[in-house]
Amino acid sequence: MRVLHVCAEMFPLLKTGGLADVSGALPLALAPLACDVRVLLPGFPSILAGLTAVSDVATLETFAGKIGLKFGRTPDDIGVYVIDAPHLYARGGNPYQDGNHHPYADNHLRFALLGWVATRIAEGIDTYWRPAIVHAHDWHAGLVPAYLAAAGRPATSVFTIHNLAYQGIFPAHQFAQLELPAHFFALNGLEFHGQISFMKAGIYYADRITTVSPTYAQEISTPEQGCGLDGLLRARQDVLSGILNGVDEAVWHPESDALIAANYSVDKLTGKAKCKAALQALMGLEHATEKPLFAVVSRLTEQKGLHLVLAALKEITDRGGQFVLLGSGDAAMEAAFVAAAADNPQQVAVKIGYDEAFSHQIMAGSDVMMVPSRFEPCGLTQLYGLKYGALPLVRRVGGLSDTVIDCSLENLQDGIATGAVFNGFSKEELTQGIRRIFALWARPKDWKAVRQEAMRTDFGWHSAAMQYHDLYRSLGA
């Protein structure tokens, strides 16, 4: 079956978050299942630079000016279509914002083109390859199902919600620039409180809707986490399901990871201790094997619960633990973490920014991976933590709830515990989780057993790929 994935970024070509990990790994996992998968991406410079065997497919006149459509291959040999439009994509800042963190004023055009071009591919503009399924990811590709619907549905659409909180909201007056039928701007369409919502378009027009974990699929159908779209999601409940993301073991595996200080496995953990010592030395922390090292690798936002970590940080250090953070985001939060590290450099270390190699080193060197999110569609950080034996300390929400089993006495006795899970979104609840981690740390035999169970847990992409394959088949592909 031929499937076109449509998204804004893809590892290893371009990554700002977990979306890129998914779009980079899922096509590879689908390939052994007789899925002929290609990906459509915006022509950001790093994406064009990372492709080989690039050829021209077409030149097109669009509502956003003249563009080229190119085709090339990733280092993993995945076929990629790229919208070649330097006037839209060759800019400073990141893919979504300028250097001052302001969204580009023409983002509605830059990302609407993903839907428009995907539809042209579905109609056969490439005479050598035409998809039966077009699978759009998150709000950037939210107009894919809308353009397909406007064109008479030349392919069946699947829309995956990676994070409902980011919806691609634009002013109503920009709708006329998108060249969609006028009646699409309506309550039963793109209109959302008088504005355009790319996310709503994907949910309304898609033939099937998925989220990145089963629990999140349930949660977004409630007013608490539905972000104003829960009513529509309940109305489309019969085509909504959750498929848990996976871990690309070719990239994330402590036995083969070339970015960490020493390799190790579930049965040979001596390399884990070397990675911890290397991380402590790199970050200027006290070299102490007996102290648990807590870590955060995250965007610094309220959603991720990092203000709770700040509030509970003294609980970790007063009990003798250490803490390391890699992340960026809210300026005040960045400053607060930097100040905490300056006040206690032996126990707290902070690196502001994002560094792919360093994130691997933190996973390998830490004992505990903290993910105390307010909401979490799936979460990849805790999955990496499990794989690397950094026990996740997570809130019972979304994909975190689906992937981590609390170290309660009952679960310890049954040998199924893989981390620590707390319930409420508060400093007090997080503190209880921290205390439970320290209690487990004080019992080395139990700690080792939980760590090994965590590392044995299989969250590879094969299971997710099988479920997507079955979904495509159910749509007649």
CATH number where 307 lies: 3.40.50.2000
According to the model, what pLDDT value does residue 51 have? 98
Residues 385 and 466 in one domain: no
Residues 153 and 235 in one domain: yes
Strand partners, 410: none
Residues spanned by the domain of 188: 2-246+462-474
Residue 284 domain-assigned (yes or no): yes
Q: Residue range 405-428: average pLDDT?
A: 97
- Reference 110, options 130, 91, 127, 124; nearest CA is 91
Task: Please name the helix (run of DSSP H) or strand (run of DSSP E) that holds residue 312, with its range, or none.
Answer: helix 306-318
User: Is the overall model pTM greater than 0.85, yes or no?
Assistant: yes
Q: Could you read off the pLDDT of 49-71 as tens digits, one per residue?
A: 999 999 999 999 999 999 999 99
Q: Could you read off the pLDDT of 216-243 as tens digits, one per residue?
A: 999 999 999 999 999 999 999 999 999 9
Other C-beta atoms within 10 Å of 75: how many?
A: 10
Residues 274 and 234 in one domain: no
Residues 432 and 467 in one domain: no
Residue 252 domain-assigned (yes or no): no
Q: Residue range 366-386: average pLDDT?
A: 97
Q: pLDDT band for 367, please (50, 70, 90 cuts).
A: very high
Has residue 417 got a pLDDT over 80? yes
Contact predicate 144/202, CB 8 Å: yes
Has residue 92 got a pLDDT over 70? yes
Residues 231 and 289 in one domain: no
Has residue 416 got a pLDDT over 70? yes
Strand partners, 420: 393
According to the model, what pLDDT value does residue 81 have? 98
Is 15 annotated as ligand-binding?
yes
Q: What whole-number distance in Å separates Cα of residue 360 and Cα of residue 348?
A: 19
Q: pLDDT band for 167, please (50, 70, 90 cuts).
A: very high
Q: pLDDT band for 302, please (50, 70, 90 cuts).
A: confident
Residues 297 and 222 in one domain: no
Residue 440 domain-assigned (yes or no): yes
Residues 241 and 313 in one domain: no
Residue 235 domain-assigned (yes or no): yes
According to the model, what pLDDT value does residue 477 have? 66
Proportion of the chain above pLDDT 70, given as a percent: 100
- As for how many domains the chain has, the answer is 2
According to the model, what pLDDT value does residue 148 have? 98
Q: What whole-number distance in Å separates Cα of residue 271 and Cα of residue 265?
A: 8
According to the model, what pLDDT value does residue 46 have? 96
Q: What whole-number distance in Å separates Cα of residue 316 and Cα of residue 293?
A: 9
Residues 336 and 449 in one domain: yes
Residues 132 and 176 in one domain: yes
Residues 236 and 274 in one domain: no
Contact predicate 239/202, CB 8 Å: no
Residue 306 domain-assigned (yes or no): yes
Q: Residue range 96-117: average pLDDT?
A: 95
Residue 262 domain-assigned (yes or no): no
Q: Virtual CA dihedral for 305, 309, 311, 315, nearest 10 degrees?
A: 150
Residues 165 and 276 in one domain: no
Q: Could you read off the pLDDT of 11-39 as tens digits, one per residue?
A: 999 998 889 999 999 999 999 999 999 99
- Reference 151, options 173, 186, 176, 124; nearest CA is 124
Residue 448 domain-assigned (yes or no): yes
Residue 401 domain-assigned (yes or no): yes
According to the model, what pLDDT value does residue 99 have? 85
Q: pLDDT band for 354, please (50, 70, 90 cuts).
A: confident
Residues 203 and 111 in one domain: yes
Has residue 192 got a pLDDT over 80? yes
Q: For the chain, what is the mean pLDDT?
A: 96
